[in-house]
Structure 1
Amino acid sequence: MTATLPRPAADEGLRDRVAAVLPVIRDEAATIDDRAVFPAAGLAALRRSGLMGLLVPTSHGGLGGDLSDLVDVAVALAGECMSTAMIWAMHGQQVAALVAHGSERLRAELLPRIARGEVYVASVTSEKGKGGHLLTAQAALRRHDGVLHLERDAPIVTGGEHADGFLITMRDAPDAPPDAVSAVYADRAQLELSASGSWNPLGMRGTHSGALRISGRVGGHQLVGAPGQFRAVAVRTFAPAGHVAWAACWLGAARGALRDVLALLRSPAGRRQFDLGSELLRARLARVRMELDSMAALLAQCLRDLAGDTDPEAVPVQLRLNALKVFTAERSFAAVDLLVELVGLRHGYLRDAPLALERRFRDLRSASLNYANDRLLFANGTLALLDRGVSLAW
């Protein structure tokens, strides 16, 4: 089993589905950023559109999409609101893991509900003391008569207070080592949830990624992957889907920023204010476009890696996936920073400027912190030492 999902005939109405939700997301973006509230209207529109079930196979009522479809939709959503796009894309990451690694019973019970837009799935992987490190866990599962008992403190859960279900990482047993990690799906109705703290960040304010205390009991069939073997789920599906989903959101935000700046420059007002023949202006535009094309090229190569017969655990594939996250996080932020310089204080720095570059700038500052770049660079340094032939994709 690989990180990719089966792809039947593409849903012919996918573009129409996306087009239907974009106005809702666009209209809500400034408000959710200003108030640091969850994008309730945007999520409701996504539920109605069928896009919550994009990665659910058609046999379970979904759209039967794959990671390329996930990227296409995430780029479009992030062009309007990166918070909403990230909420949806991370839901897609959880669904990818459930489709590829959930038990037959769990898939039969859960996937049709996701396809109908009834279940938004949040991720619970962070813990105090270890941060977002995927492959270790502290809180332990307890088993009794086939029932899994869990208690979990998570300092950050994106959209957790609004989720209908959770994919939760746990240490497999009280006597298990920290790297024996199991993933468990839990419905909200099976849990007691207690939110704490506040959510007032610099950017990504609509994700409402506050702390949650979680406790409850779930059936044994709700394990996702083999007991203690979440590493296989993470390496083959969860991490690749996450990297391409995050990169798509960051690229989409930067692409939306360039799109809006170009519209301003080409407008009658823009032609009066800006000298479109300026060498400096054209050089800055060229650099931003070069950044976007470079990010898109690496993202496209990673999608080809995951769609083919290549082992997702192969060193060159892992190098590119980790590089995708780091490179896109850095260069999307740099691209929007350069656009702020290009259009100046009035259009690029003021909070109430129509271009919303200031919001995108703040949102993209989070990208390098969302699973820290330094951690992935350390991993890639180790992998680079193993790849003595310097295997590159052509």
Structure 2
Amino acid sequence: MSPPLLRRARDAGLDVAARHADAVDRDARFPTEAFAALKAAGLLGAMVPRDFGGEGATLADIAAVCHELAQHCPSTGMIYAMHQIQVACVVQHGQQSAWHRTLLERLAAEQLLLASATTEAGIGGDVRSSSCAVEASGGRFRLEKNASVISYGEAADGILVTARRTPDSPASDQVIVAVLKDDCRLEQTVGWDTLGMRGTCSMGYRLSAEAGIEQILPLPYADISARTMLPTTHILWASMWLGIATDAVGRARAFVRSEARRKPGATPPGALRLAEATTMLNQMRASIVGAVRQYEEALGDADRLTSMGFAVAMNTLKVGAAQTLVRIVEQALLVCGLNGYRNDSEYSVARHLRDAHSAPLMISNDRILGNTANLLLVHKDTMGLFG
């Protein structure tokens, strides 16, 4: 019997990802070593059902892995989360298709890494609209997409691409196409020299693909997004952000303890802020656990997964987790003071702070709040204290 997922993730995180995290951040490079370790540990295909050679890991399992990895290298944790979001879409919506069943088998056997291409130049960050379209002919299709972001695109073995169903379809009538590395060509258009999350290598590309029409997922993108992509994105991102916050609070705690040992009998000045940061950390953890439970209870119920109340709950998780992460890391910085500000200190939270500020921008909090506001105009919350 293989070791538990979390133990394997901890080994890969501590032994490999942590050792290379500074270099990944400094050079804005893909965490090659960490993903070699994750592949060797069989963690990329963990969510694939056992019938297809995977481990049948639950979303809660994967969330725990994201949390663990992010404590050692946030870029590794984020890439792992984004990969598993794509895997979840294939698992939940591809099993009725022979081509996608084979893809699931390959994901487990070969530990393929999946990326996504949902954003598009000229759309303004609205992933629910596409200007590019699938052009089908004779059982094949062609696709050209000017993608403003494809994270770790050059390192990926496959990319799930959104596009209009046909050239005559409206912008919102979208499908997801799974293209493998041999099916497509990437021409970089935008670089990636950023404040944080530098190792995700989220460059822009002009993507050209040609493959068989059987590679198009059967369900419309709107349904896949509501039932799977939106909730898994918000849950796994929040879990990864919790990992950043956990490590930042851990460093602040270690600093306060060192101060207490240095001045026995006196409460260190940062102890109060540490208590406040710990409270926020526990609240953040509880919100994620609640969201995972809500999603797992709704699995298989399309009406529940596409309900306004469910969308509001998932949107609230994302916005709240992104905001809380920044506040927690800022508190940790104040606790550690100059030692937290320095890059060469064991108590440094400089990288944590830079990475944390990506959270409100990844699917803009303002955009999500705007969508939530529109939902709240017609949604009546009837939930009691315990559901």
Q: TM-score, normalised by structure 1?
A: 0.92
* CA–CA separation in structure 1 for the residues paired with 2:260 and 2:66: 29
- Residue 252 of structure 2 contacts residue 333 of structure 2 at CA under 8 Å; is this kept in 1? no
Letter in 2 for 1:292: L
CA shift for structure 1 position 262: 1.8
Alignment correspondent of 2:286: 297
Separation of aligned partners in 2, 1:356 and 1:184: 42
TM-score scaled by structure 2? 0.94
- Alignment partners' CA distance in 2, 1:332 and 1:296: 11
Aligned to 2:70: 78
User: Residue in 1 aligned with 2:250?
Assistant: 259
Q: What pairs up with 1:198-277 in 2 under 5 angstroms?
A: 198-226=191-219, 229-267=220-258, 271-272=261-262, 277=267
> How many residue pairs end up in the alignment?
380
Q: CA deviation at 1:273?
A: 7.0
Match of 1:308 in 2: 297
Distance in 2, Cα, partners of 1:332 & 1:390: 29
**1:132 & 1:50 partners in 2: Cα distance?**
33
Is the 1:20–1:49 Cα contact (8 Å) retained in structure 2? no
Q: 1:144 aligns with which of 137, 143, 148?
A: 137
Amino acid at match of 1:271: R
Instruction: State whether residues 126 and 154 of structure 1, in contact with CA within 8 Å, keep that contact through their aligned partners in structure 2.
Output: yes
Task: Give 1:133's aligned residue.
Answer: 126
Query: Unaligned stretches of 5+ in structure 2?
Result: none
Shift of 1:352: 2.1
Measured in 2, the distance between the counterparts of 1:275 and 1:390 equals 51
- SS of 1:308's equivalent? helix
Distance 1:79 1:356 in 2: 13
Q: 1:232 to 1:296 in 2, by over 3 A?
A: same
Separation in 1 of the partners of 2:125 and 2:49?
29
Q: Deviation at 1:19?
A: 2.4
Aligned letter for 1:143?
A
Aligned equivalents of 1:276, 1:200: Cα separation in 2: 44
Matched, 1:69 2:58: no
* Residues 150 and 217, structure 1, Cα contact 8 Å, conserved in 2: yes
Aligned equivalents of 2:45, 2:255: Cα separation in 1:
36
Higher deviation after alignment, 282-291 or 381-390 = 381-390
Residue 356 of structure 1 deviates from its aligned partner by 3.7
Q: Does 1:55 align with 2:44?
A: no
Amino acid at match of 2:369: L
Give the letter aligned to residue 247 of structure 1.
A
Q: 1:124 to 1:389 in 2, by over 3 A?
A: closer
Q: Is the 8 A contact 1:37 1:205 kept in 2?
A: yes
Report the CA distance shift for 1:28/1:316 in structure 2 as closer, same or farther (over 3 A): same
- CA drift of 1:199 comes to 1.4
Query: Would you say the 8 A contact 2:190–2:205 is kept in 1?
Result: no
Q: Does 1:38 align with 2:27?
A: no
Matched letter for residue 281 of structure 1: G
- Counterpart-to-counterpart distance in 2, 1:385 and 1:11: 50
Equivalent residues in 2 for 1:55-204, closer than 5 Å: 55-102=47-94, 103-204=96-197
SS at match of 2:44: helix
The Cα of 1:127 is off from its aligned counterpart by 0.5
Distance 2:346 2:270 in 1: 20
1:370 corresponds to: 362
User: Among the aligned pairs, what percent are the same residue?
Assistant: 33
- Residues of 2 paired with 1:144 and 1:175: CA distance? 14
Aligned ranges 1:285-364 → 2 under 5 Å: 285-309=274-298, 311-345=304-338, 347-364=339-356
Q: What is the deviation of 1:134? A: 2.2
Change (3 A) 1:72 1:192: same
Shift of 1:393: 5.4
The alpha carbon displacement at 1:197 in A equals 3.1
* Offset, 1:350: 1.4
User: Could you tell me which residue of structure 2 aligns to residue 4 of structure 1?
Assistant: none
Give the residue type in structure 2 aligned to 1:137.
Answer: S
1:205, 1:393 → 2: CA distance?
41
Aligned counterpart, 1:7: none
> Please, which runs of 5 or more residues in structure 1 have no aligned partner?
1-9
The separation in 1 between residues aligned to 2:354 and 2:384, in whole angstroms, is 34
Q: Which amino acid aligns with 1:122?
A: A
The whole-number CA distance in structure 1 between the counterparts of 2:186 and 2:265 is 56
- RMSD, aligned α-carbons: 1.9
* Higher mean C-alpha deviation, range 301-310 or range 206-215: 301-310
Specify the SS of the correspondent of 1:157: strand
What is the identity, as a one-letter code, of the residue corresponding to 2:208? S
Are residue 16 (structure 1) and residue 7 (structure 2) matched? yes
SS state at 2:240 partner:
helix
Distance 1:65 1:274 in 2: 47
Secondary structure in structure 1 of the residue aligned to 2:149: coil
Tell me the equivalent position of 1:5. none
Q: Deviations over 1:347-390 (max 9, x none)?
A: 21112222340001000101000000011111111222323345
